[in-house]
Structure 1
């Protein structure tokens, strides 16, 4: 890394254009591009990306520029910052997700993440599914985790994990002996359900309507972790997202697959106008590794 490379980077950041930066520095556009390319090679990460023909700084590029602006710190400080960013010895991760994900899926994943990157600070906000998408759209969070479908603009799906909803029963229930639960098995049974204004509840209602089955709605809750103890206490059966695969619940429950399974997709969501940071990309890798490891751990 040398002063001319940093000078070119600063000029591109301030002008928003390689051509304009060349005019400021009195050098050609190709010369500016070469300096930026050399600087990216030195620091080990991309500083810019193109979106719809425009040159936009990456998250890492913005962070490096914060140090460049304080030029009195010198090139040594810039090199130290670049090294810390590359090795994830500095930075933050802001996540917004649904309550069930925040309380049952994220803890073991974040434990693994923090062991590898202990210097990354974390902020986790939990909100209902639609609010996750709306708040992610505000650009205040690095990414979100929520069930599809996607219902807002300026948010895009990075990747998804397919999930089959499962029947949850208290230990000793007559249906616990069955290996596969049919919709007709719920006829006349007391049922502990998700709230009517949740997306998953809509799929469950459609499941029973198509099967022409009448269940007895006993209780309704917004969040998965609120339903588990009620089923364990004998208030009724339920159909839930399979978060039990990822964490020890501590309740006497039995989980069984459904005939004609109710399917959903849990998505990693990112703001349309933001490129994922290196810290975010590392989280995505650990997330998918964890989900793959627990794929077969579903029924007990």
Structure 2
């Protein structure tokens, strides 16, 4: 039972006449009769009986019509959807990113994309770097944006930008007048840190170990914005990523560069060998780095 047969059957049921169905479909009456005979032969059912007033639908035809209506409109919607895909005006993109980038940066990128492609559905997920890479590798999502911490062989990677580690502190802190914070400045401070699995935390520990220093830390958190909130509440000072600094520049905190410099690459993950649709390509091409630290920060 093909689309043309469904269309012919529906036209006959809607009009109650083979002649009128031919007019609706803009084909000849014999073509409608032939299509109907082929359909009845294929289904092994008699769908219409002839009367003195024309044709009458059988009970089987009425039951079939209920299902055909649902299927027919579904096929029309599918055709419109496919047409939209050809025009790159309709579709769905699933993206996962680390929480640090999902608060402000990625929503801004989505807003730019949606302005150009308003009918595209974009589904955003927040996950750690390992989970983002895993989901892309398994083909469950289209794109992952995360720290470069995956060795999965079936992923392609493109560096988007780097986030810098910066020191966050209250505006009146004794170190706030310094333009650059060095490792030795943290020796007497209580440091609110990111979680042990975070790349900034790992590199901070390496920097302090290299200087022969240990920091005093009693609190850690998985999100840079949470670290900033803890610092604003008086729990100490800490190192966060530059995107968290950008988001929190109006919270009474100041942010200063740290030496040695800590930079972590942010990478776009895609499944290797998976054909990319035009929408995914367009979205990927539109991704721009956030402002560099020092441009519009507190």
Q: TM-score, normalised by structure 1?
A: 0.68
SS in 2 for 1:94: strand
Tell me the distance in 2 between the aligned counterparts of 1:276 and 1:168.
40
Tell me the distance in 2 between the aligned counterparts of 1:86 and 1:159.
29
Tell me the distance in 2 between the aligned counterparts of 1:82 and 1:296.
46
1:143-292 matches, within 5 Å, as 143-244=143-244, 247=247, 250-288=250-288, 291=289
SS in 1 for 2:176: helix
Match of 1:297 among 278, 295, 298: 295
1:42-191 matches, within 5 Å, as 84-191=84-191
Distance 1:298 1:215, change over 3 A: farther
Give the corresponding residue for 1:50. Answer: none
Residue by residue over 1:259-298, the C-alpha shift from the partner in whole angstroms, topping out at 9 and shown as x without a partner, is 220121001111113133222222222212xx26556626
Uncovered stretches (5+) of structure 2, i.e. residues with no partner? 1-71
Residue by residue over 1:187-208, the C-alpha shift from the partner in whole angstroms, topping out at 9 and shown as x without a partner, is 1201111111233321111111
Q: How many equivalent residue pairs?
A: 225
Whether the aligned pair in 2 keeps the contact of 1:245 and 1:297 (CA below 8 Å) is: no
Give the corresponding residue for 1:63. Answer: none
Give the corresponding residue for 2:37. Answer: none
Between structure 1 and structure 2, the one with the greater Rg is 2
Whether the aligned pair in 2 keeps the contact of 1:165 and 1:262 (CA below 8 Å) is: yes
Deviation at 1:134, TM superposition (A): 1.3
Whether the aligned pair in 2 keeps the contact of 1:224 and 1:240 (CA below 8 Å) is: yes
Whether the aligned pair in 2 keeps the contact of 1:170 and 1:232 (CA below 8 Å) is: yes
Residue by residue over 1:226-255, the C-alpha shift from the partner in whole angstroms, topping out at 9 and shown as x without a partner, is 111111122111111111465465411111
Deviation at 1:177, TM superposition (A): 0.4
Whether the aligned pair in 1 keeps the contact of 2:96 and 2:141 (CA below 8 Å) is: yes
Residue by residue over 1:20-62, the C-alpha shift from the partner in whole angstroms, topping out at 9 and shown as x without a partner, is xxxxxxxxxxxxxxxxxxxxxxxxxxxxxxxxxxxxxxxxxxx
Q: TM-score, normalised by structure 2?
A: 0.68
Deviation at 1:150, TM superposition (A): 2.9
Distance 1:207 1:114, change over 3 A: same
Whether the aligned pair in 2 keeps the contact of 1:104 and 1:246 (CA below 8 Å) is: no
Residue by residue over 1:47-95, the C-alpha shift from the partner in whole angstroms, topping out at 9 and shown as x without a partner, is xxxxxxxxxxxxxxxxxxxxxxx9xx79xx86x6565224321101101
Uncovered stretches (5+) of structure 1, i.e. residues with no partner? 1-69
Distance 1:184 1:298, change over 3 A: farther
Deviation at 1:129, TM superposition (A): 1.4
Tell me the distance in 1 between the aligned counterparts of 2:291 and 2:169.
25
Residue by residue over 1:163-182, the C-alpha shift from the partner in whole angstroms, topping out at 9 and shown as x without a partner, is 32111111111111001111
Distance 1:260 1:240, change over 3 A: same
